[in-house]
A and B are shown apart, each in its own frame.
Chain A
């Protein structure tokens, strides 16, 4: 009997370059099939650093806010692991040591599943059986025809590369930005095109993240820590100055293209600045055709600092002369086509309906879809192995509902959700007849059924804060009420006032209790949304409306500023023997000082007013444009 030994080390880390603790969470999950003996350092010594990573990262996860995300990740890995182990038993025993390195590039958002950015397999021994592979690697498209990406986009990228390869064009930049959500085939397209054109790809691979214990070890032994962005800068510098002098490419005659896949992750403004400078240099000066792959994360929380920075970065690169191609999510049909092709190749019977479901749930992420498909195909093998009753229950329950454990969560932008609430689309009269039997309501409380999901579901998808939501609703709802429905206006206003009342209890004694806070938040959001839906009993027929930014925010800001100014003014009041309270200042002194008109503060104040006015209006217009775009999108 051959001994089967299998070590799986999974290192999850987020590399924050400019923070000291470079690792938010890491763990090593080891599994030994034949015996449960502890794993020694048998991870391949291909790269000593990586081996160390695996070893040292056996520390406990840090107790941090990312805990839930981390747990989810862990469960995901375990389940995957189980499944693959299940396969293993039925397959011929082989020697294989696999190291999955899952690099989670960003751990900030709530949905974790699509953050498994890159799954890389390092195989040290040949002769690996194929059914052990991840299908996404096995069925990686090699020809242009296999790509599920839009033909036009592929053509666009291909033409670009052809042009640049033919002759170095001095006037134009040699950089192509490929942007798009994750899993739409950006990298795959470039690889396929490269093989189609017969050029070699030289890739910037992100160095393995340094974990904290390793960093400690290194700094103890005198090694200097080099952050990822440092390394990237060095790399760019080299490429810029000397072209490609990599030993692997020496002597080869084929032309090469440079592929920068994952850019270093940066979090601080200064680091963004460095990255931007460095990339701009690259855009301006590089001689070989270069593709930079940029993954857009959830666009909906545009308030997020890092998202904003990425947008800025893209813009600046674009203005520096880089060509930009935007990839859209893969269409459901092409995902279905690909999935069917794969399942045929793997000789598995997968129902058309399940493929349909996977394709729809993936949200245009083809990597996700293939992973789900593979997971789905594993299920039949899983049953007989599982002995524990609990697991069985679990599995059957999964089958019953047929929910995909790793389907992409659907996301809605805040504006989209607001539009749904404000437009208040409802069924026509006929649908209500059946409902009336169940609930006997007074005429004035009866509303037609909603033409949308439950408001709470929409709120969930929109990830909006309750405060933001109610502010937006408050600002915009009056536009959507019909001409003389003042009663409706009152109803809406009273519900918004209720929501605000609920939210204010957050600042009190409950502020420490996160659980209670969450409940109140969602209750308030629900009251606001449902109040707006219910109160607007006579919605105006659908009409185009721009959604405004709450003016309340500006008002609050300028009121704070005025208050500060008033305090200063109070201190300037000559020779007063006492301090006046703020109310007295606002309601009595300031008006009379205006009449008296001889105070120095007067002119200063007037200046301020004018400045503030112009400021706010232009800001407002900007914002309006922005929201117009958002509305037009849907």
Chain B
């Protein structure tokens, strides 16, 4: 089992980061009920962990008994029926799924599942009709239609079903959905907090590490707790006992992007652009989302850039990031950004050095 899963805190009491949020959540569900919730915050900040702990707080240990199911939902969409295949993770009390995996059919999925959950409501110990919890991941990736249909069903079935939504950015969740939920912001953990988590894991595993080693991992992890833990485990596999000059294994795709960046800085020509395209294809083949590639590439380029160009380059990056979301083939826009950068940088070089 990966350490990320192994040392995931199971209850709200045991969390190391975001203890204040955990306290508040425990108070919130002390009555055995809760409103709809929207967790938002950057990746690797502990949203999912808090949600799972919260479910356990509400339903007790039985919430931990989950099964993974690859279910095919038959959705009746007017004239035809659509088969939508989705992986769900469910216990007797909750269902968790990533509706955006269904692509543009997500709106059917959301409605259908909520309806089905409403049909078979569990009965709790006191003989009262209970409720089930639906955990929806990546709500920000849901299409606008799906979010609209969500709004409708949220109200209609609120007696039998609570929604816990989880997203990276609340700005991509529609206003209507946001106002129907209690918004819980989960910040990225502070670096000290992450260090303390790593120390906790090291203690449990019986590992020793030199002074400042954890800080280096944390620095690389970009305040992403999950990444820090994964990197820590990789380091463990790579070399133990840890030494202070040990290289922290980087994510391969990030290394690749920085290679691309240095390629771009070295030469600006259509031929080089073509080579860069090949490398971008390589990244896309490995399912690295284009937005992340662009962001990372910009980051790498800015590091090496003269400060007077930074503004313009960032502006163009934003332009093509927007285009990329509107368009359908990311490579066109990524490449246009690279070409634009090359063009700017070349004219800058010519004007400065002649």
Give complex CA distance A175, B55 in Å.
78
Give complex CA distance A567, B100 in Å.
13
Give complex CA distance A187, B137 in Å.
67
Q: Which of B24-32, B190-198, B207-215, B225-233 contacts A (4 or more CB under 8 A)?
A: B225-233
Whose C-beta in chain B lies nearest to the C-beta of A488? Answer: B270
16 contacts between A and B (CB under 8 A): A479-B274, A483-B269, A487-B343, A487-B347, A493-B340, A500-B332, A555-B285, A559-B284, A579-B97, A579-B98, A583-B289, A586-B287, A586-B289, A587-B251, A587-B289, A592-B249
Annotate B341-354 by CB proximity to A: 1 below 8 A, 0 otherwise: 01100110000000
Is there contact, CB below 8 Å, between B343 and A486? yes
**Any B CB within 8 A of the CB of A552:** yes
**Any A CB within 8 A of the CB of B223:** no
Is there contact, CB below 8 Å, between B342 and A595? no
Nearest-Cβ distance from residue A480 to partner chain B, whole angstroms: 9
Interface residues of B, count at CB 8 A:
69
Report, as a range, how many residues of chain A touch the other chain.
Answer: 35 or more
Contacts of B48 in A (CB 8 A): 578
Max chain B CB contacts within 10 Å: which of A594, A596, A597? A596
Is there contact, CB below 8 Å, between B336 and A598? no
Contacts of A471 in B (CB 8 A): 329
Annotate A562-603 by CB proximity to B: 1 below 8 A, 0 otherwise: 110011001101111111011111111111101111100000
Nearest-Cβ distance from residue B54 to partner chain A, whole angstroms: 12
Whose C-beta in chain B lies nearest to the C-beta of A499? Answer: B332
Contacts of B64 in A (CB 8 A): 577
Contacts of A499 in B (CB 8 A): 332
Contact surface of B with A, Cβ cutoff 8 Å: 1-2, 5, 8, 43-44, 48, 51-52, 64, 66, 68, 70, 87, 89, 96-98, 100-101, 104, 137-138, 224, 226-227, 230-231, 233-234, 237-238, 249, 251-253, 268-271, 273-274, 277-278, 281, 284-289, 292, 320, 323, 326-329, 331-333, 335-336, 339-340, 342-343, 346-347
**Any B CB within 8 A of the CB of A619:** no
Is there contact, CB below 8 Å, between A490 and B339? yes
Give complex CA distance A471, B327 in Å.
14
Contacts of A490 in B (CB 8 A): 336, 339-340, 342-343
Nearest-Cβ distance from residue A427 to partner chain B, whole angstroms: 24
Nearest-Cβ distance from residue B21 to partner chain A, whole angstroms: 17
Max chain B CB contacts within 10 Å: which of A483, A488, A583, A591? A591
Q: A486-B270, A579-B68, A596-B2 are in contact. List 17 more A-B contacts (CB 8 A).
A: A488-B270, A490-B343, A493-B340, A500-B327, A559-B284, A559-B286, A566-B287, A571-B70, A573-B5, A574-B2, A575-B5, A578-B96, A583-B289, A586-B289, A588-B44, A590-B286, A597-B237
**Any B CB within 8 A of the CB of A208:** no
Nearest-Cβ distance from residue A177 to partner chain B, whole angstroms: 42
Nearest-Cβ distance from residue A389 to partner chain B, whole angstroms: 48
Q: From known contacts A478-B271, A596-B233, infer whether A584 and B285 are also in contact, taking CB-CB under 8 Å.
A: no
Annotate A601-634 by CB proximity to B: 1 below 8 A, 0 otherwise: 0000000000000000000000000000000000
Contacts of B43 in A (CB 8 A): 583-584
Is there contact, CB below 8 Å, between B342 and A486? yes
Is there contact, CB below 8 Å, between A485 and B270? yes
Is there contact, CB below 8 Å, between A573 and B2? yes
Give complex CA distance A488, B227 in Å.
41
Q: From known contacts A507-B328, A577-B5, infer whether A558 and B271 are also in contact, taking CB-CB under 8 Å.
A: no
Is there contact, CB below 8 Å, between B281 and A478? no
Is there contact, CB below 8 Å, between A588 and B230? yes
Give complex CA distance A291, B323 in Å.
58
Contacts of B231 in A (CB 8 A): 592
Cross-interface CB contact of B252 among A481, A567, A578, A591, cutoff 8 Å: A591
Give complex CA distance A444, B87 in Å.
55
Q: From known contacts A587-B251, A591-B253, A594-B252, infer whether A582 and B101 are also in contact, taking CB-CB under 8 Å.
A: yes
Contacts of B329 in A (CB 8 A): 471, 500, 504, 552
Give complex CA distance A496, B331 in Å.
10
Give complex CA distance A590, B256 in Å.
15
Give complex CA distance A336, B231 in Å.
80
Give complex CA distance A587, B295 in Å.
13
Annotate A541-561 by CB proximity to B: 1 below 8 A, 0 otherwise: 000000000011001001100
Contacts of A566 in B (CB 8 A): 287
Is there contact, CB below 8 Å, between A558 and B230? no
Whose C-beta in chain B lies nearest to the C-beta of A475? Answer: B277
Contacts of B326 in A (CB 8 A): 501, 504
Is there contact, CB below 8 Å, between B327 and A504? yes
Q: From known contacts A504-B326, A586-B287, A588-B251, infer whether A570 and B343 are also in contact, taking CB-CB under 8 Å.
A: no
Nearest-Cβ distance from residue B16 to partner chain A, whole angstroms: 17
Give complex CA distance A558, B284 in Å.
9
Contacts of A504 in B (CB 8 A): 326-329
**Any B CB within 8 A of the CB of A494:** yes
Is there contact, CB below 8 Å, between B226 and A598? no
Give complex CA distance A565, B236 in Å.
27
Q: From known contacts A496-B332, A583-B43, infer whether A577 and B52 are also in contact, taking CB-CB under 8 Å.
A: yes
Whose C-beta in chain B lies nearest to the C-beta of A574? Answer: B1
Give complex CA distance A589, B251 in Å.
9
Is there contact, CB below 8 Å, between B287 and A579? no
**Any B CB within 8 A of the CB of A98:** no
Contacts of A507 in B (CB 8 A): 104, 328
**Do most interface residues of chain B lie in helix, strand or loop, or is the interface mixed?**
helix
Contacts of A481 in B (CB 8 A): 270
Is there contact, CB below 8 Å, between B286 and A586? yes
Contacts of B332 in A (CB 8 A): 470, 474, 493, 496-497, 499-500
Give complex CA distance A575, B52 in Å.
14
Give complex CA distance A487, B336 in Å.
11
Contacts of A487 in B (CB 8 A): 343, 347
Contacts of A466 in B (CB 8 A): none
Give complex CA distance A562, B238 in Å.
26
Contacts of B66 in A (CB 8 A): 577
Give complex CA distance A598, B233 in Å.
12
Is there contact, CB below 8 Å, between A552 and B331? yes
Nearest-Cβ distance from residue A40 to partner chain B, whole angstroms: 44
Is there contact, CB below 8 Å, between B269 and A486? yes
Max chain B CB contacts within 10 Å: which of A501, A562, A575? A501
**Any B CB within 8 A of the CB of A176:** no
Contacts of B253 in A (CB 8 A): 586-587, 591
Give complex CA distance A507, B327 in Å.
10
Q: From known contacts A586-B289, A589-B230, A595-B238, infer whether A581 and B137 are also in contact, taking CB-CB under 8 Å.
A: yes
Give complex CA distance A493, B342 in Å.
12
**Any B CB within 8 A of the CB of A125:** no
Contacts of A559 in B (CB 8 A): 284-287
Give complex CA distance A382, B1 in Å.
89
Nearest-Cβ distance from residue B101 to partner chain A, whole angstroms: 7
Contacts of A589 in B (CB 8 A): 230
Is there contact, CB below 8 Å, between B237 and A489? no
Is there contact, CB below 8 Å, between A592 and B5? no
Give complex CA distance A597, B234 in Å.
9
Contacts of A555 in B (CB 8 A): 281, 284-285, 331
Whose C-beta in chain A lies nearest to the C-beta of B5? Answer: A576
Is there contact, CB below 8 Å, between A478 and B273? yes
Nearest-Cβ distance from residue B2 to partner chain A, whole angstroms: 7
**Any B CB within 8 A of the CB of A156:** no
Nearest-Cβ distance from residue B5 to partner chain A, whole angstroms: 5
Whose C-beta in chain B lies nearest to the C-beta of A495? Answer: B336
**Any B CB within 8 A of the CB of A437:** no
Q: From known contacts A486-B343, A592-B231, A595-B234, infer whether A570 and B251 are also in contact, taking CB-CB under 8 Å.
A: no
Max chain B CB contacts within 10 Å: which of A482, A552, A570? A552
Contacts of B286 in A (CB 8 A): 559, 562, 586, 590
Give complex CA distance A136, B299 in Å.
73
Nearest-Cβ distance from residue B319 to partner chain A, whole angstroms: 10
Give complex CA distance A555, B253 in Å.
16
**Any B CB within 8 A of the CB of A513:** no
Max chain B CB contacts within 10 Å: which of A484, A567, A583? A583
Nearest-Cβ distance from residue A31 to partner chain B, whole angstroms: 42
Nearest-Cβ distance from residue A192 to partner chain B, whole angstroms: 55
